[in-house]
Amino acid sequence: MATIYDSLKGINGYPIPKQTILDIATINGLDSTSESNEEVLQSDDFKSAKADILSWLALAPKVVQNDIAYSFTDEQRIDFSKAAAEIRASSGEPVATSSIYGYKGSRL
């Protein structure tokens, strides 16, 4: 049977570092070596970990391993961020919002 680590790793085929997945599981109160079952997958802790993985993927760098390139388009990155925000909102977690600051107008 699959472990929680396997389930988090399986969210996307991008080569997320093992320690990153382990840290995300720990931060969310999950034991990465425990069996992944329906109860775990439906838990708020797992959903929060999944949102963290998606947020990490939204910022992931382009990687080349064994002549295979892994990269995301800007649209995919936006989709990862939106999916993470939706998971957090459905779980009642606060969702971070971003503001764009910059120079507007012809004078300061």
**Which amino acid type is present at position 47?**
K
Share of the chain residues as helix, strand and coil, in percent rounded to the nearest 5: 50, 5, 45
The domain segmentation of the chain, as residue ranges, is: 4-90
Residue 69 tokens read as 């390139």
Confidence of residue 102 (pLDDT cuts 50, 70, 90): low
What is the tens place of the pLDDT at every residue in 42-97?
999 999 999 999 999 999 999 998 899 999 999 999 999 999 999 999 977 666 55
The pLDDT value recorded for residue 101 is: 57
